[in-house]
Amino acid sequence: MLSLLERLERGIDAATRPIVFVGVAAMIGVITLQIISRVFFTAFGWTEEVARFLLVWITFLAATLAYRGGHHIAVDFVVEALPKPPKRLLRLIADGAALVFLVALMVIGYRYMQMQGFQKSASLRLSMTWVYAVIPLSAALMSWTTLLDILSLLVRGRRRTTEEGDA
């Protein structure tokens, strides 16, 4: 069961990576267009807004990739120095606290997204719901990762590992 859930997580990860890559490439293209248009022509007003929205989405989605890979900053030297049973318990407590935070972020982000739905962006007249939707989405993805880490600790007695390193 756990391996099936982990395969699903790898599929989500495999879908997120190209989205982040395309977002970075699009942001580079939009910023290049903005610079060229300012220097040689009249500046396109929408380029700054698109670049900002892409940056927000890229940041949140890349954070989910970093979180899954265990690349977020952590101070774990005390936990690593402990014997196995207390180490496992502290990791469960830490993952439980992270899960509570991420679920709260998901709920609050969703409510904020709904509250700002009436607002339109200045240049593109895009509903800000689309911009803020990345908050509950990324919190849900990180919650999924944390839940799998907790299940792995309970079932296997150890943390999961990923291709990038320890999760």
In a domain, 23, yes or no: yes
In order, the DSSP letters of 44-112 are PTHHHHHHHHHHHHHHHHHHHHHHHHT-S----HHHHHS-HHHHHHHHHHHHHHHHHHHHHHHHHHHHH
In a domain, 162, yes or no: no
In a domain, 163, yes or no: no
Domain that holds residue 64: 2-155
In a domain, 110, yes or no: yes
Q: Note the pLDDT tens digit of each residue in 22-57.
A: 999 999 999 999 999 999 988 888 999 999 999 999
Please count the structural domains in the chain: 1
Give the predicted TM-score (pTM) of the model. Answer: 0.86
In a domain, 101, yes or no: yes
Q: Note the pLDDT tens digit of each residue in 118-147.
A: 999 999 999 999 999 999 999 999 999 999
In a domain, 164, yes or no: no
Instruction: Find which of 43-47, 98-102, 150-154 is predicted with most confidence, using mean pLDDT.
Output: 98-102
In a domain, 58, yes or no: yes
In a domain, 148, yes or no: yes
